[in-house]
Each structure stands twice: as C-alpha cells, then as structure tokens.
A = this chain, B = another copy of it.
Amino acid sequence: MRSDGRQQGELRSFAIALNPNKYAEGSVLIEVGNTKVLCTASVEERVPPFLKGQGKGWVTAEYAMLPRATHTRNHRESAKGKLTGRTMEIQRLIGRALRSVVDLHALGERTITLDCDVLQADGGTRTTSITGAFIALALAIHKLSGTITFEKYPLTDYLASVSVGVIQNQPVVDLNYEEDSKAKVDMNVVMTGAGAFVEVQGTGEEAPFTRQELDRMLSLAEAGIQELIARQKEALGQAGARIGGGGQ
C-alpha cells in the first residue's frame, strides 16, 4: 500500500553504530531508512549563566544538516550568518524532549550538549535525531557514572520519537521524504519508556484533521515508539541498566 511496500504501522529499517566518534563522551550513528544522523554527546563541567550556583545541570541540543544531505544542495547556515527558524525550532524540540527524562539536580553542575548532524535526509530527521540523541546521552551518562558517583541516576526513563501522518485518509507511521511531501497531516510524537507523552506536534496546514484521525495517529505513534525503545534497550545493553533506577 505504501510506496516502499510497508504496512501502515511498520517502521523503516533501523541501524545503530555505537561510539563512532573517538572524542565524544557518547556518540551514535543512527540510520532510519535512508536518514542518517550522527549524534554526539559532549560533557562540560560548567552550566549556562542562568543556572549558575543552583546545583543543577543542563542538557541542550544543536541540529544541522550537511549541505548535501538533501536532494539539492542547501546553503550552509554558517555562511548565511544565521540559523533558520526551522533549525531553531528543531533544536529547541530535541533539547526539551531530552530534558524531560533527565533529573538535572542528579546530573549536577555540568552541561551535556547533544549535536545532531544529519549526514543524509530522507524524512524524519527530527524524530531520528531525538531517538539517536537519547542513546548518545545515555552512553555519556553511563561513562560519567564510571568516574562520578551519582546518588540518583540522572536518566529517569528511555525516550524515543517517531512521525505519523495521514496519506489517502489512512494514518501511517515513520514517513519517508516522499510520503511526507504528500501527507495531509504532519505529526511528530515523543514518548517515554513508561508510555507517557513528552511532545505532540501535529500540523494540518494543507488540510485540518479530525479528532478521530488524531486519535488513530497517536495510537500508531505509541506502538512505533515502544518498538524503537526496545531497540534502544537492546543497543545500550548494560550501559542502560540504571536508567530510571533512581538511587543505587
């Protein structure tokens, strides 16, 4: 039924390479279909000015696409001298989503920056970035826990994200670029391992959607995200053992 033969609720192929970067405290090369994102987690022993002296840390994200990540080349934002609204929106979303599963007091006065650089884009770059960045973050916190004794483990739950949409009146999950272009609704959902919603962002610019369509999309997203979280658990293995565990 879908252009690549998938079922409505079927995710694309999924691959993760752990720690491809030799300097970062945690890193992941995540591939969802033809979308490839390199996520690195960088730990710095300082916090932004607005958090100084509060005994808590910060988690933030930056997002960018390489100029030729897409069908035609885009100008670099560095050459244009400013970030586009799209980039700002996406990196604010990633940071907000990740912070929802981090206990910033438990993290202590340090900042973890997740850089999500899209090497190749075929739809779902923001959801793939969130799913991948969570893994890089988990690796970095696991590594930190080797040198720092966390009274409470700073990661409170797993976190992943997927897109859903409506094509020819049918809700579908994990849209590729071609599907995305013709979907009448574009929705991104972020959820925790416990099945709670962290972000629900649905847009019907081309055609408003009904409450029923919304409900059906949310159900597809829930199932897809739990599948992604199962893969995150498998990939992290022992490095994810203390997630959500609270105190030792």
A176 CB, min distance to chain B CBs, angstroms: 12
A143 CB, min distance to chain B CBs, angstroms: 14
A116 CB, min distance to chain B CBs, angstroms: 10
Asked if residues B196 and A21 are in contact (CB atoms below 8 Å), the reply is: no
State the copy count for this chain.
6
Asked if residues B196 and A115 are in contact (CB atoms below 8 Å), the reply is: no
Asked if residues A198 and B208 are in contact (CB atoms below 8 Å), the reply is: yes
**CB-CB nearest in chain B for A219:** B211
A233 CB, min distance to chain B CBs, angstroms: 18
Q: Which residues A120-165 have CB closer than 8 A to chain B?
A: 120
Asked if residues A113 and B73 are in contact (CB atoms below 8 Å), the reply is: yes
Most buried by B among A44, A68, A203: A68
Interface residues on chain A, size class = 35 or more
Known pairs A76-B62, A120-B21, A197-B214; A192 contacts B205 (CB<8 A):
no
Assembly CA distance A96 to B201 (angstroms) = 13
Asked if residues A71 and B23 are in contact (CB atoms below 8 Å), the reply is: yes
Whether A202 sits at the interface, judged by CB under 8 Å, is yes
Chain B binder among A10-18, A49-57, A85-93, A239-247: A85-93
A162 CB, min distance to chain B CBs, angstroms: 16
Whether A237 sits at the interface, judged by CB under 8 Å, is no
User: B residues within 8 A CB of A226?
Assistant: none
Binary per-residue interface labels of chain A (91-115) against chain B in the complex, 1 for a CB within 8 Å, 0 otherwise: 1100011011000000000000101
A185 CB, min distance to chain B CBs, angstroms: 9
Assembly CA distance A91 to B76 (angstroms) = 13
Contact of A209 among B120, B196, B211 (CB under 8 A): B196
Contact of A100 among B62, B119, B204 (CB under 8 A): B204
Binary per-residue interface labels of chain A (51-92) against chain B in the complex, 1 for a CB within 8 Å, 0 otherwise: 000000000001010111111110011111111111111011
User: B residues within 8 A CB of A214?
Assistant: 197, 200, 218
A sample of 12 cross-chain residue pairs with beta-carbon separation below 8 angstroms, ordered by A number, consists of A23-B120, A40-B66, A42-B68, A44-B73, A62-B67, A96-B203, A96-B205, A198-B203, A198-B205, A199-B202, A200-B201, A201-B201
User: What 9 pairs between A and B have smallest CB-CB spacing?
Assistant: A196-B208, A85-B88, A77-B78, A42-B73, A78-B78, A40-B68, A200-B202, A24-B68, A96-B205
